Structure 1
Amino acid sequence: MLILFSISSIAGVLKGKVVAECGAEMNYVAVVIGEARSGYSDEAGNIFIKDIPNGTYNVSITTIGYAKLVIADVHINNTVTDLGLLKMEPMITIMDPFEIVYIRPGYSHNYHGSSNLVLQDELRRVQPLGSEEVLKKVVGVNVAGDMGISNRLNVGIRGSYPRRSEKILLLEDGIPIAPAPYLSPSAYYNPPTDRLDGIVIVKGADALTMGPNNMYGVLNYITKKPSLKPELSVALVGGERGYQSQFITYGGTWNNVGAELQVLNKAFDGFQDNTSSRIFNATGKVYADLGERSTAYVKFNFHQENAQATYSGQTPLTFNLDPNQNPFDADDLSTKRYAIDLIYKYKLGQNSVLTSTAYASQFSRDWWRQNTTLLNASAVRSYVGEEIYNAKYAYLNNVISSDDDYIRVGVVSNGRENTKARNRVFRVAGVKEEIEWSYSISEQFNGKLTVGLNAHTEQFLNQEIVADSSRFSRSGTIVKDQKYTLSAISGFIKNDFIVGRLSIAPTIRYEVINMRKYNLLAISSDPLNDGTNNYGSVLNTFGQLLPGVSLNYVVLDTNQNKFEFFGGGYNGYTPPTSSVGFVGINEEGTVDTSPSEESINIKAETSANFELGLRGYGLKGALLGQAAVFHNRIDNYYAAGRKEAFETLGAVSIQGIEFNASYDFGQLIKNGNHELIVGLAYTLMNSKILSGKLKDADLFKAKHTEATKIELIDKINLERTGYSVFFAGDSLVNRNLNYTDFDQIESIAFEFGEGKIANNSAPYVPAQILCFNFNYGYKGINLGLSYSMIGAQYTEYLNFNNETAEGAIGKLDLFNVIDANVSYEVTSKKRFLNAMTVFVAGKNLRNQIYKASRLHRVSSGIMPGGFRQINAGIKFTL
């Protein structure tokens, strides 16, 4: 009080707090006090500006995207003048796709259905290696490890198959970022978390307005906007295994135009031998308020990665001996991405706005991988030779191996290991128009109509090249040369009817898709090629109608307490990709993988999705939470998983419960400097394969142990009518089998449903996922601790409990991870330093290596996870 009195005796002090309409704190908002003083709100939205000469001023408060707030005739004298709580209203032209000004982590106010947020505060505290590290804490999300640092994302939402996240829609600032969202949605590009402001996960019917691949959920990365206050920010991080990162940004806002340049350089030696990566990412963006009627946003991005990214994992033997070893030193992945996004919003009238979006990207992926084979451990030395053995497999010395101990080695021909390239280029472009019209019929009856139209095109070039002269060769013979093209027109209509506390939003989406395939090698050698347009190509055209509805009912709504029920249902879909988009379904419902063009009729996988839940915040904002139950049924199921496909289209149901809540115990302490947040996220899931006949191409390529042989025979005999077993010569065997029959089996088709295989689960749908978070903050000091547990999960449709000898088949056991972080942040009023933060972040502190996935099946085996990594860094803002 004495200090405050001495300050006030010299001049006046102005204080207040700036929040958004929803009550969220708004940081770094510009405050101008006449011509006397100016400043910014702090990270919590608080205004505290001192040394203001006595007088009467007009105080203006501004930030990009929000209406200017002016408080007239504010009297300043030798006291503290408190403006109280100041609410800023968003302009109708605000850039919604990347606005993430929300209350402490919970859900998004922009969506009717269930959603979850990862906010900037969480990213800053945790200092994640990649996005998978924070996504594993989100309810309904399952992360399948791939030994990397999220450069290639592998997550499932509400039971979706997680390999390369190809079953979910990936966006950045509302714009698709998969290499080819329709033809090849596998996530070979994933934005570095260094340049993110947050992540939004959308799971309800709102996904219908956002794009294809909407049956499970949408993941929208929100990148950092240009700061209001011009500043230079530098973040330097170093850690174990050669981890280093340099992230430099400079930007600010001048005359309602914000601009920023971000440059990231990152290097990591990898968790295993020969798994290093080097990343360079540069982003430039401009965000401008062009008056009261329009807003524009432009973003350029360049991303380059050079990595020793292996496709080969561990066998049970090598996992137990040394999970850090990886002998494949010639695996080489090189990616480049160029992208430009443009968004323009124009106010058509008092209650209507037009949003125009254009985007284009090119992503190239050259991946040279050693050809591999599986050998019994006792045969490795004689197969590879002394030189290769001593360089790569000497750890096998003195190991007494059994018949079930296998090693994955490079294929050797003429004394040399060899390699094969899978090189791909993806080009994507699109334009989107969206109109929003808010209307009011009466005081109690309001609404908002949204209509969107999107024209989208893709090109995918796919080459395979073999080189047998050396494993380091980077040229050779082209053995596959394909081109795919796609054009899609989609549109949606959504009308949000608001009657008092009730909101009902019916939505309908329709898509028309034309996709074409060219076998360039075959076309080039065809003497009848007359040069006509699309000669030698095959075409598939189809449309999809997707209706949905969501509803909300607000039970309580005050400044610091709000609770609402929500629910909804919709039909989602996943369009057929390049690998499955040119097959046919005959009258019996059987899949034909080599049909004539007239017989190509594969349609999209579709779903019926339902959810019901409760969410909100209370106890003066200290308690936040969301709970939901969901049920998804997927039909027309063909692309089941890696090397697994339905011969007759299948159906799967996935249902579960999601619950997440957090409480800030710091509010119980009268001293407001304390923050003590405890959070819990819990997911309970169950799945069932309802129908369909499936073949597993890897089932008999795997090296079966006695345990897996016995388990398979027991499965067949237990539900005999569900298995079609063929011995040599394709002879069908209908009797019960003996264990000695295993070696005579040539192939098996298995059929699901009542009276067949009745109770099998879908792969990578763990029964339970739990995350507990603890975070304490006091005057710039922050301590964080998290515990994550992922329950046991099957990895293929036959639900093997036992593990095959190469590690491709078998149940994954429950595993858990403990992470911790500590940081200290200081702010400064010095001319050259605004703020500085130092931190230490520890990942997987117990260093308990676990089997994280078998994503690539026989091609790779076990993908380990749980390697400890400790990083430290400093960030300063000038």
Structure 2
Amino acid sequence: MKFFFLYLITFFSFTATLYAQNACIKGKVVSQSGKESLPGVNIIQANGKGVFTDHAGLFSICKLEKGTLSIILSFIGYEKKIIENIEINSSEAIIDLGKIELKETSIQIPEINVVSTYSSDNIFSNRQTSTSNTISKKELELTRPIGTEETLKKVAGINVSGDMGISNRLNIGIRGSYPRRSEKLLVLEDGSPIAPAPYLAPEMYYNPPTDRLDGIEIIKGADILTYGSNTMYGVVNYITKLPPSKPTLGIHLSSGENGYMSQLVTYGGTWNHTGAELQILNKSFDGFQENSPSNIFNTTLKLYSEISKKQSIYFKLNYHQEKSKASYSSLTPFTYNLNPKANPFDADDLTTFRYAVDLGHHLELNKNWVLSTKIYATQFQRDWWRQENTLIKAKTAKLYLGEEIINERYSYLSEQTFGDNDWIRVGRVVNGRESTRARNRLFKTAGFQETVKYNWQTGNLSGKMEIGGKVHLEQFNDIEITNDSSRFARSGKLVKDNKFTLWAASAYIKHTLSYKKINITPTVRYENIEMHRFDQLAISQNPLNNGTPYFGSTKNTFNTLLGGMASSYHLIQNDKNFLTLYGGLYQGYTPPTSGFGFLSVNDGLVNSKPKEEDPINIKPETSFNFEAGTRGYLMNNFIATQFTWFSNNISNFYSAGRSEAFQSLGKINISGAEMVMQINLHNLLPMGKHELTLGSSATLMKSKILGGTILDGDLLKAKHTDASKQEIIDKINAAPLGYLVYVNGANGSDSLISRPLETTDFNNIKKIEMVFGQNGIKNNHVPYVPQRILNFSVTYSFKGFSIGGNYNLVESQYTDYINLNNETAEGAMGKLPSYHTLDASISYHFLTSEKKWLKGLTLYMSGKNLNNQIYMASRLHRVASGIMPGGFRQVIGGIKWNF
């Protein structure tokens, strides 16, 4: 082994000398503030010839003659730098300029110039005091993810609970947050919120295609107080592509298994400090299951201009359209085991349209003061016709559905034998016909934000103060239409017509004090929210309607004051080593949504159906969060690492999950550790142009429900097996004070039962309330919080060639608050088994070629879930859906060409 290692060093050293046969200058370009690598920097010689820095910020200019040389470095968002009088004394000289620092312009827009995502060397963001993670442009280019969940699963602290193969609707949790539609998180694109309605309806029914992204930034800890609503768990900021430094036409074509096809055309460049780019994307996919194709069309116009040394503007327009046969219904255990690709619901149709505009302006008032203005607006329309479904025993399918329907869509049942616990999900049949229900929604949001930044310094003491204020408006229309004539009918009877409006005003102040190696950052945030609900069907039938704007509406208002403190200490700080200790504590909150924002609370007890005289007074869910950790780059970035311990204590907890709500407000704790390490062997060993990187991340979590009483609306609707019935009875008998069990009383009312239960009692149970706390249920875990998530990766590159692989392991996790181990017969409840995935990618980029038309060409192939291990991804929609499968293999190949 020792001789093999010596051989590798000798081989790489010899290879490196092959490229030192003429005069060269080389160096590495980094940002001045965070020392992060800057790829894509334009470096021009006096003769007009130039190069760009690579993904690690490195550059070299060779075939130089003896003499004196000057170079000019320029990069959008940074001050131009000129290096003069570089002496070249021989024809074989190699001059290393070392690290060249570029200073950020004070008018740089931080949300779109996220430097940490530029280079694969950066695993966290130096602009954040608290914990952060970054996914680089190079990683996205190598792995070619077909959806953002594919790449976010590698990030420490994130748990993916998919319900669709290419993550058109994002389902992730951060540090134990409920993952369904990522509704507990704040998701941004270039710093602007992209959920249909971030307060009223934060569910992620829009998720940007990865083809448009240059990187992703994940922010946790006290820093998220400055960003907006949903500040309890974390922020995901998608970074879209910046305009290229020189005029470029890009064509990106890819295709793969399961009818996957993607076509992206871009044109843009930078002219006199103004960068602009137009992107047009069309993407189609047949889906992993039957009857599940989707098509996406997305176009974006992006412009950034430094109109002077003291002013910059940013403008972005986006149009997004999706047409999918997206189904809400999924698999029972019987169907999952028999055919996980089965989907008989051919009449489900989802259509979305999104229009968005962002406008930003930065103005340097003087060297210490910068004023930033942002205006954003979106309109998102979601029309979703879903076939009405029901559960039947498989052995009754032919009788219930009829011969014709069986032959058309349930052929997988042929020649099967069925047991009593074999259930299937089918279209509901009434009078021989199936039907659909439309759940159509229209969202409109707009916001105006003003931020002032002030920098000062006195001796060794300096400060950065940031004051921000925002006004945010939302309107959400929610209608439902039914029909019973045909499952393909697209009109019918209006049965629901609700409108919601919201007005939110917020302000924050953040002040970072720095003294030598110590940084302390206190932050305070205030929000005032007013929301209204209109039952427009009921209002239309009210003869007393006097036409006033808020007639018949239900109103809720609340104020929230949040505080936080983050601190850091630079333990080591020099050219080759950077190690920081950091910590923070802050208050987080998730505001009430349209679903639970109009409830009444009296002495901690929630009234979910308040009468007219009951006050509407439910307040936000709140948390007290703490974290501490260390991060840094060691041995000239041979090792990059980040380790964090965190603890989130959440109170006033109501919205536990789908069909799960606390009747008396709950308390939970989620704590754990996040570890990230990247070993860049090429930064230690003499490997020349060879690069070898090993990466790993680990998430360790534990959770506990500390208090509250919860009612699970699906617990008794589920189709229980003998095993799940017995498990529930055993849980009740083991902790009788933790379960309030009601049966049908003699007079028809609910009767509380206090004796030990037998399995035969189960069918007589009408309601079960779970009581958590010291005298009740003590050791249950929060759903969708696996104890361990592990990820390992390896990447090798040489010149334009790159190859990499990734292994991901997610341990088992509960999906309900009762913590059922045994699965119910329709698949809505029960523990999810652990699973693992294996991905690999290979690409070649023609860096140098005698043929000019090859220079901008990249060829690649990428395989996802190569082990083809089908696993249970989630039970997110519970009784309404069942098991959502994942793990289907997908191989794609493509060509990318920049002219």
Task: Please say whether Structure 1 and Structure 2 have the same fold, judged by a TM-score greater than 0.5.
Answer: yes
Q: 2:792 aligns with which of 763, 772, 783?
A: 772
Report the Cα offset of residue 82 of structure 1.
3.4
Q: In the alignment, does 2:889 pair up with 1:868?
A: yes
Q: Distance in 2 between matches of 1:36 and 1:202?
A: 41
Q: Percent identity?
A: 49
TM-score, normalised by the number of residues in structure 1: 0.97
- Determine the structure 2 residue equivalent to 1:846: 867
Would you say the 8 A contact 2:635–2:684 is kept in 1?
Answer: no
Q: State whether structure 2 residue 810 is matched by structure 1 residue 790.
A: yes
Moved more, 70-79 or 496-505: 70-79
Q: SS where residue 879 of structure 2 aligns?
A: helix
Question: What corresponds to 1:552 in structure 2?
Answer: 568
Counterpart contact for 1:431–1:454, Cα < 8 Å: yes
Partner residue of 2:4? none
Note if contact 1:808-1:862 (Cα within 8 Å) is conserved in structure 2.
yes
Match of 2:101 among 75, 84, 87: 87
Deviations 1:498-543 (A, max 9, x none): 1111100000000000000000101111111111221111111101
Structure 1: how far apart are the matches of 2:398 and 2:495?
31
Partner of 1:201: 218
SS of 2:732's partner is helix
Query: Does the aligned pair in 1 maintain the 2:26–2:60 contact within 8 Å?
Result: yes
1:626 and 2:642 aligned: yes
- Superposition map of 1:501-650 within 5 A: 501-587=517-603, 589-596=605-612, 599-650=615-666
* Residues 459 and 484 in structure 1, CA contact (< 8 A), matched pair in contact too: yes
Residue 37 of structure 2 contacts residue 122 of structure 2 at CA under 8 Å; is this kept in 1? no
The question of 1:802 aligning with 2:839 is answered no
Q: Which of 766, 780, 794 is 1:746 aligned to? A: 766
Q: State the Cα distance separating 1:28 from its structure 2 match.
A: 2.5
Q: Say whether 1:758 aligns with 2:778.
A: yes
How much has 1:697 moved relative to structure 2? 0.8
1:683 to 2:699 alignment: yes
1:148 deviation in Å? 2.5
Question: 1:713 and 2:705 equivalent?
Answer: no
Aligned mates of 2:167, 2:419 — CA distance in 1: 36
Instruction: Pick one of 53, 57, 63 that aligns with 1:45.
Output: 57
Partner Cα separation in structure 2 for residue 206 and residue 119 of structure 1: 21
How big is the shift at 1:478? 0.6
**2:708 aligns with one of 674, 689, 692:** 692
Q: Is the 8 A contact 2:512 2:522 kept in 1?
A: yes
Residue aligned with 1:560, SS: coil
Provide the residue aligned with 1:27 in structure 2: 39
Contact 1:582 1:593 in 2 (8 A): no
Letter in 1 for 2:499: K
Contact 1:416 1:470 in 2 (8 A): yes
The 10-residue stretch of structure 1 (98-107 or 215-224) with the greater mean CA deviation from structure 2: 98-107
SS in 2 for 1:349: coil
* Partner residue in 2 for 1:150: 167
Q: What are the within-5 Å matches in structure 2 for residues 151-190 of structure 1?
A: 151-190=168-207
Once residues 688 and 7 of structure 1 are traced to their aligned partners in structure 2, the CA distance between those partners, rounded to angstroms, is 65
Tell me what 1:96 maps to: 110
Aligned residue in 1 for 2:28: 17
Moved more, 93-102 or 811-820: 93-102
Contact 1:75 1:81 in 2 (8 A): no
Alignment: residue pair count: 873
Looking at structure 2, the residues matched to 308 and 588 of structure 1 have their Cα atoms a distance apart, in angstroms, of: 43
Worse-matched range after superposition: 118-127 or 65-74 = 65-74
Distance 1:809 1:691 in 2: 22
The answer to whether the Cα contact below 8 Å between 2:846 and 2:854 also exists between their aligned partners in 1 is no
CA RMSD of aligned residues (A): 1.7
Secondary structure at the aligned position of 2:225 is classed as: helix
| Cα distance, 1:40 vs structure 2 | 3.2
* 2:493 corresponds to 1:452: no
**8 Å Cα contact 2:869/2:887 also seen in 1:** yes
Letter in 2 for 1:84: L
SS in 1 for 2:396: helix
3-state SS of 1:504 partner: strand
Structure-1 separation of matches of 2:139 and 2:755: 59
Shift of 1:27: 2.3
Instruction: Give me the whole-angstrom Cα distance separating, in 1, the residues matched to 2:276 and 2:88.
Output: 34
**TM-score, scaled relative to structure 2:** 0.95
Question: What one-letter code is carried by the residue in structure 2 that aligns with 1:794?
Answer: Y
Cα pair 1:447 1:497 within 8 Å, conserved: yes
- Alignment-mate amino acid for residue 209 of structure 2: P
Contact kept in structure 2, 1:28 and 1:229, CA below 8 Å = no
Q: Is the 8 A contact 1:689 1:761 kept in 2?
A: yes
State the 1:495 CA deviation: 0.7
The amino acid of 2:300's aligned partner reads: T
In structure 2, do the counterparts of structure 1 residues 83 and 295 end up closer, same or farther at CA, with 3 Å as the change threshold? farther
> 1:638 and 1:558 mapped to 2: Cα distance?
49
Report the Cα offset of residue 56 of structure 1.
5.2
Contact 1:37 1:52 in 2 (8 A): no
Runs of at least 5 residues in structure 1 that lack an aligned partner in the other structure: none
Amino acid of the structure 1 residue aligned with 2:487: R
Kindly indicate whether residue 747 of structure 2 is the aligned counterpart of residue 733 of structure 1. Answer: no
Cα-to-partner distance string for 1:194-245 (whole Å, 9 max, x where unaligned): 1111111111100000111010011111111101121111111110010011
Deviations 1:767-794 (A, max 9, x none): 1101111111122221211111111100
- Can you list the C-alpha shifts for 1:391-410, whole angstroms capped at 9, x where unaligned? 11122122111111100000
Q: Secondary structure at 1:710's aligned position in 2?
A: helix
What residue is the counterpart of 1:494 in the other structure? Answer: 510
Question: What is the 5 A alignment of 1:397-416?
Answer: 397-416=414-433
Secondary structure of the 2:397 match is helix
- Provide the C-alpha distance between the structure 2 equivalents of 1:464 and 1:218, rounded to a whole number of angstroms: 32
Q: Which residue does 2:719 correspond to in 1?
A: 703
Deviation at 1:732, TM superposition (A): 1.1
Match 1:825 to one of 845, 857, 880: 845
| SS of residue matched to 1:670 | coil
Secondary structure in structure 1 of the residue aligned to 2:846: strand
Is the CA contact (8 Å cut-off) linking 1:112 and 1:550 kept in structure 2?
yes
SS of the counterpart of 2:115? coil
Give distance in 1, aligned partners of 2:327 and 2:731.
Answer: 34
Partner SS state of residue 308, structure 2 = coil
Do the aligned residues in 1 keep the contact of 2:577 with 2:636 (CA within 8 Å)? yes
Alpha-carbon distance in structure 1 between the residues aligned to 2:472 and 2:356: 15
- The answer to whether residue 361 in structure 2 is matched with residue 344 in structure 1 is yes
What is the deviation of 1:828?
3.7
Please name the residue that 1:877 is paired with.
898
Runs of 5+ in structure 2 lacking a partner? 1-15
Q: Which runs of 4+ in 1 moved over 6 A?
A: 1-7, 51-55
Q: Hey, what's the Cα distance between the residues in 2 that align with 1:801 and 1:561?
A: 48
Query: Which residue identity is paired with 1:255?
Result: N
- 1:387-398 aligned within 5 A: 387-398=404-415
CA distance in 1, matches of 2:63, 2:214: 33
Structure 2 partner of 1:72: 84
Secondary structure at the residue paired with 1:164? helix
The answer to whether the aligner puts 1:427 opposite 2:444 as a matched pair is yes
